[in-house]
Amino acid sequence: MRVRISLLLLVPLALIVSIDKAGAASLEGTWSGSGVANPKDGKREKLRCRITYRRQTEKVYSVAAACATTSVKFRQTGKLLKVSPTRYIGDFYNPEYDVSGRVRVIVRGSAQTVTFNSARGNGRVTLSKR
């Protein structure tokens, strides 16, 4: 009887551990989707992005993004730090336009929301895993 009770107490703990591992693994890979960019010196534009995340350490991921609006295509890179099982925060840089800023990612299953801010504007994209 004690063994059964002990096992029953361990099952929720095992679920928590597996959920955390699934959340950590779920960011890695390629995601794509769309959203909006709000440049400070222009009008709001629709934005399409393909973003690839690669795990570097237990909590650090590299980011490579290829995005496009109707008027421009651009690439940027960055790093993210895992701050909770589904939330990441970090920095990005675009060498072509010399733009850097802050990025935040919230993962919900096979979807994620990415928000970004820089001195030149801000935006938001919703992505799904490819």
Q: What is the pLDDT of residues 61-119, one digit of tens each?
A: 999 999 999 989 999 999 999 999 999 999 999 999 999 999 999 999 999 999 999 99
Query: 102: closest CA among 81, 86, 71, 85?
Result: 81
pTM greater than the 0.85 cutoff:
no
Provide the residue ranges of all domains of the chain, joining segments of one domain with +.
Answer: 2-129
Rounded distance between C-alpha atoms, residue 27 and residue 76, angstroms: 18
- The β-bridge relationship of strands 111-118 and 87-94 is unpaired
Can you give the pLDDT at residue 48? 98
Domain 2-129's class? mainly beta
Is residue 21 over pLDDT 60?
Answer: no
Rounded distance between C-alpha atoms, residue 61 and residue 74, angstroms: 20
